[in-house]
Amino acid sequence: MGNDRSGTGAETVSGPGYALLLAAGPAGKQRLMDAAAALPQLAAVSPAALLGTPGGASVVQLVDPVDPQTVLTHLRTAAAHPGPVLVHLAGQLTLDAKQRLPHLALARTTPRTARYTALPWHWLAAELGRRPPGSTVVVADLVADETAWPPLRTAGPSALAAGLTLYGTVAPAPPKRQMATPDYSRAFAGLLRAAAERPPLALLHQRAALEAGLGTGPELLLDGAGPGDAYAPPDAAPGPEAAPWAGHAGQSAPLGATWQAGPAGQAGPTGAAGPGGQAGATAPPGAAGQAGSAGQTGAADQTGPSGQAGPTGPTGSAGTVAASPPPMPPGPPESFRPADPRPAPPSLRPPQPTHAPAPPPPGWAPVADPLASTHAAIFEAANAGRHSEAASMAAAWEQEALRTAGPRSDEAIHWLEVRADLSRIAGDPARACELWLAVADARLSNGEPAEHPEVEGAVDRAHHQWQFVEDRARAGGLAPLLIELRGRVPGRRPGALEAVRRRAELLRAPARTR
């Protein structure tokens, strides 16, 4: 589908933005979340902050729609907008009884009528997935009912990505007679209202999840890590024997697929043939089959509802001539370069002890790194050009670390570092910069001092990757946080902070038009 995978979302496209805020859920006892409670605080965020667009934005709220065609019309309006687009979803997921595909429940949805009264998730993915790369972000605050949660929990968060840049959370249904609240949405909105400029979405998501108390429970965090396999269009859902992901260890399956997961705590499938005959990496313990997708999505070929093809791209107003941005300003002569411009991937370096270890007792043999084969498989896939496969395997392990150790744990930060280095290998310096900034922020929040080598290394790598970001809007969006962290972590190269400030000033210069 090709939407932005850098995590900066709508920051990569200039011009006025468009936000669609959708809160939906079944009426009566079938409702699992007070979805409408997410909208007042989001509506209080200025449109420019919500979209990260200085030129402002149009914001449309849609509360408890009853007809999926009505929602589809709004999605097509958003998809046709020429500027940045943000779609916020609050509500609940269900599966239709026939094809077992995920749907967003609407006001008239019941377990038996979901296929006709709920919004198919693949409609959403197909409409927004045709937009230009970097122009669209989806933020979701969802609960999954008893039909949707088990397969989603097994398949992992990338099962919903389907080519979208998707941030947010999906939680299981609350206990009976209780209703979930959109805590993630409230935290997301509160952070936006408090920020002078919108931070990078990966960091905004991480902070919102922490503030909402997420990451240690059963919920899945949707962190924009990368696309999953697209869902098949209606009446064309593949059976398990024909699934395109079959036999690819570490890939996600559509929610309608049959999964065979082992007992909790056991390792997932190992050694399954991957693309090109490569053996797949071991799945995270207790997360059999959870790893994200391993290839490009095919949603661009999907048909929309009723067999009609969706729009092939965004359309602007008649006669509009797009502005031609000037070439990226070169870095100043003292442009920062770390002492080691090509650092070894952090995932391949063993953790450094903070004190001298005691000698082992006589007769003890060294213990091999239990993740060595996993790291090797991930970076083998990345260096072979299978970037989606590598990123989704790392994201699956990160999800496991979030659940078992918490979002600020060494394990979770480790996998954030791995994902940052995978973005560098994939040639996405903006995403790499954003993730390294998130690593530095997490370490500083854990109380690590600014002069700690791991903190300095994270900021140095973020700075180094930022210099290779050629998109002016994307680089400009990352600059404020980099300046803030550079002020706290100056590093060992003199003039680094001043170099960032000078380039940021050049990025703020008005673009030339033709």
- What is the reported pLDDT for 77? 92
Judgement on whether residues 96 and 210 belong to the same structural domain of the protein = yes
Q: Can you tell me the distance from the alpha carbon of 231 to that of 294, in angstroms, rounded to the nearest whole number?
A: 14
Q: Can you tell me the distance from the alpha carbon of 436 to that of 7, in angstroms, rounded to the nearest whole number?
A: 12
CATH of the domain at 374: 1.25.40.10
Q: How many CB atoms lie within 10 A of CB 13?
A: 26
Q: Can you tell me the distance from the alpha carbon of 43 to that of 38, in angstroms, rounded to the nearest whole number?
A: 9
Q: Can you tell me the distance from the alpha carbon of 40 to that of 229, in angstroms, rounded to the nearest whole number?
A: 34
Q: Is residue 319 part of a domain?
A: no
Q: Is residue 335 part of a domain?
A: no
Judgement on whether residues 222 and 294 belong to the same structural domain of the protein = yes
Scanning the structure block, which residue is given the tokens 């001092």? 449
Scanning the structure block, which residue is given the tokens 């200085």? 54
Judgement on whether residues 45 and 120 belong to the same structural domain of the protein = yes
Amino acid making up residue 273 = A
Q: Is residue 86 part of a domain?
A: yes
- What is the reported pLDDT for 511? 61
Residue range(s) defining the domain that contains residue 399: 370-508
Judgement on whether residues 394 and 298 belong to the same structural domain of the protein = no
Asked if residues 127 and 310 have their Cβ atoms less than 8 Å apart, the reply is yes
- What is the reported pLDDT for 34? 94
Give the three-state DSSP class for 327. Answer: coil
Judgement on whether residues 298 and 396 belong to the same structural domain of the protein = no
Q: Is residue 327 part of a domain?
A: no
What does each C-alpha distance from 34 to 92, 142, 170 come to in angstroms? 10, 10, 14
Judgement on whether residues 251 and 105 belong to the same structural domain of the protein = yes
CATH of the domain at 127: 3.40.50.1460
Judgement on whether residues 67 and 193 belong to the same structural domain of the protein = yes
Judgement on whether residues 287 and 392 belong to the same structural domain of the protein = no
Q: Is residue 349 part of a domain?
A: no
Q: Is residue 312 part of a domain?
A: no
Q: Can you tell me the distance from the alpha carbon of 436 to that of 453, in angstroms, rounded to the nearest whole number?
A: 14
Judgement on whether residues 282 and 147 belong to the same structural domain of the protein = yes
- What is the reported pLDDT for 124? 92
pLDDT (tens digit per residue) in 365-405: 444 456 778 888 898 889 889 888 888 888 888 888 888 88
Give the three-state DSSP class for 453. Answer: helix
Judgement on whether residues 185 and 36 belong to the same structural domain of the protein = yes
The total number of structural domains that make up the chain: 2
Nearest to 346 by CA among 256, 398, 421: 421
Q: Among 286, 307, 328, give the residue marking a domain's end.
A: 307
- What is the reported pLDDT for 243? 24
Q: How many CB atoms lie within 10 A of CB 288?
A: 20
- What is the reported pLDDT for 304? 41
Print burial letters for 422-456: b (CB count within 10 Å at least 16), e (below 16): bbbbbebbbbbbbbbbbbbbbbbeeebebebebbb
**In percent, how much of the chain has pLDDT > 90?**
32
Residues of the chain with pLDDT under 70: 1-14, 225-370, 511-514
Structure tokens belonging to residue 73: 């019309």
Q: Can you tell me the distance from the alpha carbon of 197 to that of 108, in angstroms, rounded to the nearest whole number?
A: 39
Contacts of residue 394, Cβ cutoff 8 Å, sequence gap at least 6: 225, 378, 415, 418, 419, 422
- β-pair type (57-63, 17-23): parallel
Judgement on whether residues 33 and 131 belong to the same structural domain of the protein = yes
| Residue 14 backbone class (left: φ over 0; alpha: ψ -120 to 50; beta: rest) | beta
Judgement on whether residues 374 and 295 belong to the same structural domain of the protein = no
Q: Is residue 263 part of a domain?
A: no
Full-model pTM: 0.53
**CA-CA-CA-CA torsion sign (441, 443, 444, 445):** positive
